[in-house]
């Protein structure tokens, strides 16, 4: 099974870092974000469309037209149908001046993933004539414990202890940001034999599809220039946790996990380059 490719200690470390990242972001959540989302319903709807539909369709076309097969194709497709990466919210806030819309947009994406992920997997199963399934309850459980619970705890702390939340928000955000790079490096080291076996195709697909999704997300924001980076990042970044969940539920080989990680690394490289460029441009 796929879980054998990642040691339990590393899986626990990943879970702890993701929980801390989402809790730190929850400290930023308040009524003003919800009010901003309600005021900008049209842009929010367009950004949701960009996050949920173009990437799966383009990934399927990419896999079919380029003749990608095996674990590489599986990893690419599973990542493409899994929106709402935990780190996406942090990157969207870093990228956009409309950061108050990033949290409600992210929450909307992961909530809709409860429906779209099983539906997308059912479509892939019909296309490839394979028995593939994941229940909405399993997706909801993963989304809740990995993202919604820590976000909610952070938001609750902000609501009931605003001074404490304001005091710890920035230091905790810095710590979690700094923890992401060594965590990614550890994943690469541990999974390197599988990554080498899978090859460069998932990494290149992740980079290419992420670039495409960034363009689609920015376009869907229309004339709302401050919202473009937020919509772009939200559309581009995919959730490896959901991809791992699908692969585990369907007893796929460990190489699928490696392909998903390679896709995530390629996508993260492109998004990070965009965030750095936007930061320099703003300065």
- The rounded distance, in Å, linking the Cα atoms of 221 and 229 is 9
Out of 52-56, 163-167, 193-197, 270-274, give the one with best mean pLDDT: 52-56
Distance CA 245, CA 119 (A): 15
How many folded domains does the chain comprise?
Answer: 1
Domain that holds residue 84: 2-282
Which residue in 109, 130, 62 sits closest to 235, CA to CA?
109
Where residue 178 sits, what CATH number does that domain have? 1.20.1530.20
Question: Structure tokens of 89?
Answer: 């919210």
Is a pLDDT exceeding 90 seen at residue 40? Answer: no
137-113-210 Cα angle (round to 5): 140
Segment 20-39 shows an average pLDDT of: 80
The pLDDT tens digits of the residues spanning 260-270 come to: 999 999 999 99
**25-39, 208-222, 235-249, 263-277: segment of lowest average pLDDT:** 25-39
203-239: b (≥16 Cβ within 10 Å) or e: bebbbbbbbbbbebbbebbeebeebbbbbbbbbbbbb
Q: How confident is the model at residue 32 (pLDDT cuts 50, 70, 90)?
A: confident
Whole-prediction pTM: 0.89
Cβ-based neighbours of 225, under 8 Å, separated by 6 or more: none
Q: What is the rounded average pLDDT of the residues 103-127? A: 93
Q: Which residue has the higher pLDDT, 277 or 142?
A: 142
> Would you state the structure tokens that stand for residue 203, as one six-digit string?
């990494």
pLDDT-derived band of residue 1, with 50, 70 and 90 as boundaries?
very low
> Taking 80 as the threshold, does the pLDDT of residue 51 lie above it?
yes
User: Which residues are paired to 83 by β-bridges?
Assistant: 238
* Predicted confidence (pLDDT) at residue 35 exceeds the cutoff of 80: no
Work out whether the CA dihedral 165, 170, 172, 177 comes out positive or negative: positive
Predicted local distance difference test score (pLDDT) of residue 86: 81
**Taking 70 as the threshold, does the pLDDT of residue 2 lie above it?**
no
- Tokens, residue 259: 């392909």
Q: What whole-number percentage of the chain has pLDDT above 70?
A: 95
Model pLDDT, residue 48: 93
In this structure, are residues 42 and 101 in contact, taking their beta carbons and an 8 Å threshold?
Answer: no
> What was the pLDDT predicted at 188?
87
Token pair belonging to 29: 């959540």
Q: Cβ contacts of residue 97 below 8 Å, gap of 6+?
A: 226, 229, 282
- What is the rounded distance in angstroms from the CA atom of residue 158 to the CA atom of residue 239? 26
């Amino acid at each position: 099974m796929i879980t054998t490719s990642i040691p339990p200690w590393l899986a626990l470390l990943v879970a702890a870092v993701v929980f801390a990242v989402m809790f730190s972001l929850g400290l930023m959540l308040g009524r003003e974000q919800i009010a901003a989302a309600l005021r900008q319903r049209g842009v929010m709807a367009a950004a949701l469309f960009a996050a949920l539909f173009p990437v799966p369709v383009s990934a399927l076309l990419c896999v079919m037209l380029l003749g990608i097969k095996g674990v590489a194709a599986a990893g690419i497709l599973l990542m493409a149908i899994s929106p709402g990466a935990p780190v996406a919210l942090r990157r969207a806030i870093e990228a956009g001046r409309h950061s108050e819309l990033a949290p409600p947009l992210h929450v909307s994406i992961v909530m809709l993933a409860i429906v779209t992920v099983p539906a997308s997997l059912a479509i892939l199963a019909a296309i490839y004539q394979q028995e593939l399934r994941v229940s909405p309850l399993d997706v909801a459980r993963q989304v809740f414990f990995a993202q919604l619970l820590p976000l909610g705890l952070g938001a609750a702390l902000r609501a009931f202890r605003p001074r404490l939340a304001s005091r710890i928000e920035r230091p905790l955000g810095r710590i979690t940001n700094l923890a992401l790079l060594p965590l990614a490096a550890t994943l690469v080291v541990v999974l390197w034999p599988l990554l080498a076996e899978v090859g460069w195709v998932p990494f290149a697909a992740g980079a290419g599809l992420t670039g495409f999704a960034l363009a689609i997300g920015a376009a869907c924001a229309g004339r709302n220039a401050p919202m473009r980076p937020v919509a772009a990042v939200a559309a581009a970044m995919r959730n490896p946790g959901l991809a791992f969940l699908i692969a585990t539920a369907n007893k796929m080989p460990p190489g699928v996990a490696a392909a998903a990680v390679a896709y995530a690394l390629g996508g993260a490289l492109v998004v990070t380059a965009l965030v750095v460029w936007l930061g320099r441009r703003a300065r």
